[in-house]
Structure 1
Amino acid sequence: IIHEAADTIFHVMVLLAAKGVEFEDVMKELKNNELNLLKRRIEKLEEKLEDYESWLKYKMQDAREDFAIGRDMLERRLELRGIEMGIDSILKLGQGYLQKEKKKLNRLARKIDAHISVEEITRELKKNHPRSFSEALKEYRKEISRARNFVKKRNFASLPQNEELKVQETPHFLRHVTPFAAYFRPAKFDKNQIGIYMVTPPENEEMMKEHNYCSISNTSIHEAYPGHHLQLTLANQHPSLIRLLSEGTEFVEGWAHYCEEAVKDLGYNDTPEHRFLQTLDLVWRAARIIVDIRLSCGEMSFEEAVNFLVEQTGMEREGAEAEVKRYTYTPGGPLSYLLGKHLIEKIREETEEKLGSDFELKWFHDMMLKNGAIPIKYLRGILEEEVNQKLIQTGKKSHTNNI
């Protein structure tokens, strides 16, 4: 595959190879004999990485410009993942959300300040951030703790035992691939489920705006509670090995994206400012669907995709270029966020309609989470069985009836 890779993929690989190995923070904790051994091995590794970088640059001369896998292959990939909607339907969904959420963004902007533009409000909200990175780390820890307490207090979902989430500064050797923050899930078979949330120190004062208070809150919901950490910790408890080793991207990313809005609907940081940045992220996820499909089908060039993200979401060009580079080698991945959120909300609406006054939000969320991080197609079938059992228990349905 690497001999036939697209040009954009080679560029990403060269970037990773060129960064080399950075272990400054690890070295500080080593004894002299351990340090000398590590240095010798790093020198050997850096030589190999330089050779690898040179080889990649040589291969780039023959790299093809066309990275699109084509409509048929994209359809097949989605089908294999258990996604039942066709490409055209998903594209239409993304276009509809983009229009709807941009209108919502304008309404929220007028609530915040009717005299300035959406772009100006975005800039103002991003200016409201902790004064230093150490304060930002404290804010992440505080917000994650608040979100966890909210999940428990408001009966959003059950919290598993033996779980913990540690917030720490991103080590040097991971910073070139983690520009802002990243969540590392607990090991699947560990007794104590400890997740790690890494936050990268900004290279300059300007980058502190990405750690603004509204974003810290929204990110903590998405990555920690009740998002990825809660979901994946519960998924790790499932006794089925097949489910432990299987994962539906549209459910994993869709769940975290769903939580961003769901907790606000229950009153968590439900202010126009927090809603504004959460909706701005939703606009970005809608644009992702459009770019992912058109880019993968060969209906949009790399430059057109970058321009689309900049124009539709207000993203900085450098950030948009990094996004699109990732899309070129993860076809069908970027569309999973909003598609998954949409499917979860649809299942919730159907479940509420069937159960009526017997519907309980915590029960619904627990049913979603306790069955593993499996594709939504299979989760829907399991949930239908659970709903049937609940209807039988409440006397609203006999054993012989079907939904």
Structure 2
Amino acid sequence: MRPALIPPALIPSVLFALVLAACQPSPPAAPETPAVATGASTTAEADAHFLDLAQRWLDKSLELSPIAATQVGDHRFDSHIDDLSQGGRNRALEFNRKMLAELDAIEIPSLSRENQVDARILRNKLRYDIWTSETLQSWAWDPQVYSQLAGSALYGLMARDFAPMPERLRSATARMQQIPTLFAQMRQNLDSARVPKIHAETVSRQNAGVLSLVDELILPNAGLLQGQERRQLDAAVAVLREAVDEHQKWLDETLVPDARGDFRIGETLYDEKLAFALDSPLSRQEIRSRVEADIRRTREEMYEIARSVLRDRDDAPAKMPDRPSPEQQQAVIEAALELAYADRPAREEVVELATRSTEEATAFVREKDLVTVPDEPVKIILMPEFQRGVAVAYCDPPGPLDKGLETFYAVSPIPDDWNDDQVDSFLREYNTRSIHELSIHEAMPGHFLQLAHANKHPSILRAVLYSGPFVEGWAMYAEKVMADAGYMDNDPLMQLINRKWNLRAMANALLDQAIHVDDMSREEAMKLMTVTAFQQESEAAGKWVRAQLTSAQLPTYYVGYSEHLDLRAEIEQRESKNFDLKSYHDQVLSYGSPPVRFVRQLMLDEPIR
């Protein structure tokens, strides 16, 4: 679930952040519940009112955002798509304002502590959505809002067996009939003077991708529909193909040539968006100071590990002093990393290695008793063909409302049409130890294990509005836990790769703000990634593009990781000799996936704020 590696259409949190509008006409709204007055009665009464508000928000927001509803496992609206017309956006905005006003009328301290957390999470979500619609206005300048919804509309229906295939095909038919309207809304809403060129070009390249979903996921199953239903599906496919062609012409001949917006959102918008996206007390300046210090410290650790690896080798760099120059430090670390890069699977062995490394990591977690391991095993699957070539693996959990479905650890074979140079570059970055690291992050004890624990928490609201920094930070923290526990027999090259992956997250956090606030150039960004963080050229080039297309998401890994480390250090200090690592991990994971600051306040019985 590491978004750096997952196509955007697969990330429910990204989808939720992009959803701004309503769908088809809805039934009459439920009667309003009176707000709780100041000095209101009992905690039980306040909780009852809040839970009613939260349920009404959840029901209506998913009705207004049918594609997101499918993603999170609410299938009442599978035959609809989002309405991004001005009327649809206004309906969503009015609903969010109404819900925020009602929530603000509740005295949050009068709620139970768990509901105080959920109320503050919901308040941040409502304020974020209103700000996105009114201030950021991504619907007016970011064509990805529309292209990601179009792809997710079909992928969310077809990727999982949450219902019989004929039922899902009927929903897909209905959505294919409506996607041309989404394209028309995109053409109506976008102001080419505000659209960045990189956004227009990216969507132009991706536009035909919706047809790959049709060809690879829908049509191979179309024979399950007969008669009129099959004819409707075929007609919807034909109309969609024509609409995609028409849209492509507009993208290539109108949007791309006229796009002249700035992809950098600037200091004011960036700081406001960062505060909403992270829901963390850490400011942009504090994140930068921490990152710069951690980069220096991590490179110093890598240098010491590299020296130990190279010390008795004939091909070691000539100079490896105790106090190296920057050039000496760089050369020694690079030389040791080359040893790790040389140990890589054959192109046909990637899937087998990912499978084996997950089994080994699971056995290690059990042996060391690091955290309670869920009874259900992670299911390793072959990555769908249309997703291959972007990542070697990713965690694909079901929506939080889809109960009883399996979590997939999807692993990709290297595409058959890749040449030797492409394979070599890919496997240098995703060498044997990196794939072990990836299996830790995505499966055990990373995303799969964390989500299995989180699913036991009773709050549906908290599951739907999970914290990206908590989730991604935990997966990074899990990598460190395994390294500290001696995974792979204290292999120093594994320790080196672990720190290289940490550097990637640090570079992500620095890169994001440096590009959008400090006007970092491509040359400066590439140097940060390839020299400071030791990434391969192709990996860094892709990240440069991604950093232009997004903002305030790349820091989630590092910020969550830092908060998890801070929390553990504080609890360790407080409990001293009584600290038990497994008990600590189980308790942290028992709260679901809220922002880490709330976990801290719950654990330490501090005021929720």
Fold match (TM-score > 0.5): yes
Cα 1:9–1:27 change in 2 (3 A) is closer
Q: What residue in structure 1 maps to residue 506 of structure 2?
A: 286
Most deviating of 266-275 and 123-132: 123-132
Q: Do the aligned residues in 2 keep the contact of 1:137 with 1:167 (CA within 8 Å)?
A: no
Q: Do the aligned residues in 2 keep the contact of 1:137 with 1:168 (CA within 8 Å)?
A: no
Cα 1:193–1:28 change in 2 (3 A) is closer
Q: Do the aligned residues in 2 keep the contact of 1:164 with 1:193 (CA within 8 Å)?
A: no
Q: Does residue 77 in structure 1 map to residue 273 in structure 2?
A: yes
2:400 partner amino acid: K
Q: How does 1:203-222 map to 2 (within 5 A)?
A: 203-204=418-419, 205-206=423-424, 207-222=426-441
Most deviating of 61-70 and 21-30: 21-30
Cα 1:237–1:12 change in 2 (3 A) is farther
Q: How does 1:87-166 map to 2 (within 5 A)?
A: 87-114=284-311, 115-116=316-317, 117-133=332-348, 135-161=349-375, 163-166=376-379
Q: Do the aligned residues in 1 keep the contact of 2:429 with 2:535 (CA within 8 Å)?
A: no
Query: Could you tell me how far 1:121 is from its partner in structure 2?
Result: 3.0
Larger RCO (CA within 8 A; separation ≥ 6): 1
2:367 partner amino acid: K
The separation in 2 between residues aligned to 1:62 and 1:278, in whole angstroms, is 44
Cα 1:40–1:149 change in 2 (3 A) is farther
Q: How does 1:248-287 map to 2 (within 5 A)?
A: 248-269=467-488, 270-287=490-507
The separation in 2 between residues aligned to 1:55 and 1:143, in whole angstroms, is 47
Q: What residue in structure 2 maps to residue 370 of structure 1?
A: 590
1:5 partner amino acid: V
The separation in 2 between residues aligned to 1:282 and 1:360, in whole angstroms, is 25
1:189 partner amino acid: L
The separation in 2 between residues aligned to 1:12 and 1:101, in whole angstroms, is 34
Q: What residue in structure 2 maps to residue 17 of structure 1?
A: 207
Q: What residue in structure 2 maps to residue 61 of structure 1?
A: 257
The separation in 1 between residues aligned to 2:402 and 2:387, in whole angstroms, is 23
**TM-score, normalising length from structure 2?**
0.58
Q: What residue in structure 1 maps to residue 574 of structure 2?
A: 354
What's the secondary structure of 1:21's corresponding residue?
Answer: helix
1:96 partner amino acid: A
Cα 1:60–1:113 change in 2 (3 A) is same
The separation in 2 between residues aligned to 1:227 and 1:173, in whole angstroms, is 25
Q: Do the aligned residues in 2 keep the contact of 1:148 with 1:226 (CA within 8 Å)?
A: yes
Cα 1:34–1:173 change in 2 (3 A) is farther
Q: What residue in structure 2 maps to residue 169 of structure 1?
A: 382
Query: Could you tell me how far 1:291 is from its partner in structure 2?
Result: 0.9
Cα 1:65–1:166 change in 2 (3 A) is same
Q: Do the aligned residues in 1 keep the contact of 2:337 with 2:493 (CA within 8 Å)?
A: no
Q: What residue in structure 2 maps to residue 343 of structure 1?
A: 563
1:157 partner amino acid: V
Q: Do the aligned residues in 2 keep the contact of 1:189 with 1:236 (CA within 8 Å)?
A: no
* Structure 2, unaligned runs of 5 or more: 1-139, 143-189, 318-331
Cα 1:26–1:79 change in 2 (3 A) is closer
Number of residue-to-residue matches in the alignment: 384
Q: How does 1:169-208 map to 2 (within 5 A)?
A: 169-175=382-388, 178-202=390-414, 203-204=418-419, 205-206=423-424, 207-208=426-427
Query: Could you tell me how far 1:382 is from its partner in structure 2?
Result: 0.9
Q: Do the aligned residues in 2 keep the contact of 1:288 with 1:334 (CA within 8 Å)?
A: yes
* Structure 1, unaligned runs of 5 or more: 389-403
Query: Could you tell me how far 1:46 is from its partner in structure 2?
Result: 3.8
The separation in 2 between residues aligned to 1:102 and 1:332, in whole angstroms, is 25
Q: Do the aligned residues in 2 keep the contact of 1:141 with 1:167 (CA within 8 Å)?
A: yes
The separation in 2 between residues aligned to 1:113 and 1:43, in whole angstroms, is 62
Cα 1:277–1:326 change in 2 (3 A) is same
Structure showing greater radius of gyration is 2
2:555 partner amino acid: L
Q: Do the aligned residues in 2 keep the contact of 1:250 with 1:336 (CA within 8 Å)?
A: yes
Cα 1:31–1:63 change in 2 (3 A) is closer
The separation in 2 between residues aligned to 1:296 and 1:219, in whole angstroms, is 29
What's the secondary structure of 1:168's corresponding residue?
Answer: strand
Query: Could you tell me how far 1:102 is from its partner in structure 2?
Result: 1.3
Q: Does residue 50 in structure 1 map to residue 255 in structure 2?
A: no
Q: Deviations over 1:232-287 (max 9, x none)?
A: 12212211122111121211111111111111211212211101111111122222
The separation in 1 between residues aligned to 2:250 and 2:534, in whole angstroms, is 37
What's the secondary structure of 2:388's corresponding residue?
Answer: helix
The separation in 2 between residues aligned to 1:31 and 1:248, in whole angstroms, is 38
The separation in 2 between residues aligned to 1:34 and 1:132, in whole angstroms, is 39
2:378 partner amino acid: L
> How high is the sequence identity, in percent, across the aligned residues?
25
Most deviating of 262-271 and 163-172: 163-172
